[in-house]
Structure 1
Amino acid sequence: MSQETTDLLKVLAVTLLVFAASTLIMLYGILLLSQYGANLPMVGSLPLNAPPELVPVLAGSGVFATLAAVHVTASGLALLLTSNTIDTALLIAAKAVTVVIMALLGFAGGHMVYLQLTENTALNLNPLLPALVGLIGFLVLSTLLSVPAMRRLGNLRYAVGIGLIILGPLLLVWL
């Protein structure tokens, strides 16, 4: 495992923990404000509700599948061209989406822990499955199948590039 991959995994772990802890603190802050701050003029007029269940909506909306399909197609195009700027842009985009998905999962984890602690709600990870698949997909796109890694294939990169251009639309249909 390269140092770059190790660093990315560290960033993902820290992102998950920070967003889970921040979500717990935020939700307990909302709970405290709704119970003890309702008489305050600026707080009493605000609707203090639990956050909506946006994580399953975002994860199941196809956003991650669409981004993955476009990224695969763009990687194929990048392999046919020679541009360090495009390679770097695709690598940064893949890593950024990976970190955003991990932040979303951290929020979901913190929210689930909050619901478990306050309402004794059972933990259900099934709605998060598309986000987990997206996380794994973008982790692979930012490490093993990154454009700089595939450039090491030499002239075979042209065939792989054409294959990725064909695979991108198929992923969009399948996912």
Structure 2
Amino acid sequence: MDLLKVLAAVLLVFAASTLAMLYVILLMAQYGANLPMVGAVPLFAPPELIPLLAQNQVFATLAAVHVTATGIALALTSNTIDMALLITAKAVTVVITSLIGFAGGHMIYLQLNENTPLTASGIAPALIALVGYFLLSTALSVPALRQLGNLRFVIAVGAVLIGPMLLVWL
């Protein structure tokens, strides 16, 4: 439940911060054109950034490696590895949520200023990655899977085999 609270807070903070940042840039571009470096602030660069960030294969690659690492960790007995994978999954979940918050804030900015329709199609890969990492940080985390007893060894083999396939599928 704490992870959901953190994700909601990060989403709202990054969306609001993006709106504030873009409006400050807009005001600086309109009313402070003679200020140093204002011309270097690209007002319309974020629209090109959203697909680049949201559809980046980094999250898919990390997820595939994480699934493989989960399988290896389940075969071993190490609280350190278990916690490292859990912390990594939660951290990546928060990072992806902040990216979605940025994209949402930017889409709201474009809707308010340019009447651009709101659509989630540009951030769909990030939303899928968010769901995957949320599962890896909760129900499919190493500590959660370790509670399955000896069935964890079967899951470990499956995870080691599924990891490379995810890399190809995603």
Which of 29, 39, 43 is 1:49 aligned to?
43
**1:73-128 deviation line (CA, Å, top 9, x unaligned):** 00000000000000000000000110000000000000000001111111121111
Alpha-carbon deviations, 1:139-160, whole Å to 9, x = none? Answer: 0000000000000011111111
In structure 2, the residue matched to 1:90 is: 85
> How far is the alpha carbon of 1:174 from its aligned partner?
1.1
2: CA distance between counterparts of 1:45 and 1:156? 60
Counterpart of 2:44, as a letter, is A
AA at the equivalent of 1:15: V
Pairs within 5 Å for 1:136-155:
136-155=131-150
Equivalent residue in structure 1 for 2:71, among 59, 68, 76: 76
Cα offset, 1:59, TM superposition:
2.2
Aligned-residue CA RMSD (Å): 1.2
Residue identity matched to 2:109: Y
* Amino acid corresponding to residue 74 of structure 1 in structure 2: A
| Amino acid in the other structure paired with 1:79 | L
Q: Tell me which residue corresponds to 2:29.
A: 34
Determine what percentage of the aligned residue pairs are the same residue: 66
Q: For 1:44 and 1:82, how far apart are their aligned partners in 2?
A: 55
Change (3 A) 1:44 1:61: closer
Query: Residue type of the partner of 2:124?
Result: L
Maintained 8 Å contact 1:94/1:142: yes
Alignment correspondent of 1:134? 129
Partner of 1:121: 116
**What's the CA shift for 1:14?**
0.2
Equivalent-residue separation in structure 2 for 1:45 and 1:138 (angstroms):
39
- What TM-score does the superposition give when structure 1 sets the normalisation length? 0.93
Q: Could you list the runs of 5+ residues in structure 1 that have no partner in the other structure?
A: 1-5
| Matched residue SS, 1:153 | coil
> Cα offset for 1:44?
4.8
Does the aligned pair in 1 maintain the 2:60–2:129 contact within 8 Å?
yes
- Listed as ranges, the gaps of 5+ residues in structure 2 are none
Contact 1:37 1:43 in 2 (8 A): no
Q: How much does 1:47 deviate? A: 4.1
Aligned residues: 169
Q: Residues 148, 104 of structure 1: CA spacing in aligned structure 2 closer, same or farther, 3 A cutoff?
A: same
2:103 corresponding residue in structure 1? 108
Runs of 4+ in 1 over 6 A off after TM superposition: none
Q: In 2, are the aligned partners of 1:27 and 1:50 still within 8 Å (CA)?
A: no
> Who is 1:3 aligned against?
none
TM-score by length of 2: 0.95
